[in-house]
Amino acid sequence: MHGVAGNLAGGTHHAYRDRGEAYCLFNDLAVAIALLRTEGAVRRPFVLDLDVHQGNGTAAIFAGDPDVFTYSLHARHNYPLRKDTSTLDVELEDGAGDEQVLAAIDATVPAALDRHAPDLVLYQSGVDALHTDRLGRLRMTHEGLAERERRVFAWLESRRVPVVITMGGGYGRPIATSVEASAQVWREARASLARRQAAALPGR
Ligand SMILES: [Zn+2]
């Protein structure tokens, strides 16, 4: 158990308990949490959703459930038009770039993690905040997104919280720009895994 797992798909955060929505047939984040809770494997899960669209289905499914923290950072004017209420919603204006997004996560993610003290984080790592994205409305660069990943993984490492990574949106034109941004998530995840493994070695 090294604390980093992931799925090269998923992050289907728009699906509700009773219906699919917006490319999302069922909410894999919610299903995973439900299964893990049934097994007694997790008590205080935390969904960290940095996709540029609100995790509306996840927010609705866990509304009123104090043991599940739903965090969503998204563009205020983006889909879905009618938003649900997450435990914490962080909204960005159209055109926000690296500086604004990184400042927003700095100001909210570590504090939210400390407030909830999760025993598992599910990271929805959508890369549709990229400036080439057709649906994103934000202007992040590849370097800015790589920095996002480094900060997220560092915050989780320092708190010794295991993480499950899912992908999320990415609709770049050309699509290769989104592929590169998603690949960065996994490069940084691999680096994080290596650091966690090194730290767990006896004698270090
Ligand atoms: Zn999205």
Give the distance (Å) from ligand 1 centre to CA of residue 144: 17
Residue 22: inside a domain, yes or no? Answer: yes
Inter-residue contact 29 to 13 (CB < 8 Å): yes
pLDDT at position 202, please? 62
Give the distance (Å) from ligand 1 centre to CA of residue 136: 7
Residue 113: inside a domain, yes or no? Answer: yes
Helix axes 98-116, 142-158, angle to 10 degrees: 20
For this structure, is 14 an active site residue? Answer: yes
- Residues 126-169: pLDDT tens digits? 999 999 999 999 999 999 999 999 999 999 999 999 999 999 99
Domain hosting 90: range is: 4-157+172-178+191-198
Report pTM.
Answer: 0.95
Q: How many domains does the chain have?
A: 1
Catalytic residue among 2, 13, 14, 53: 14
pLDDT at position 201, please? 63
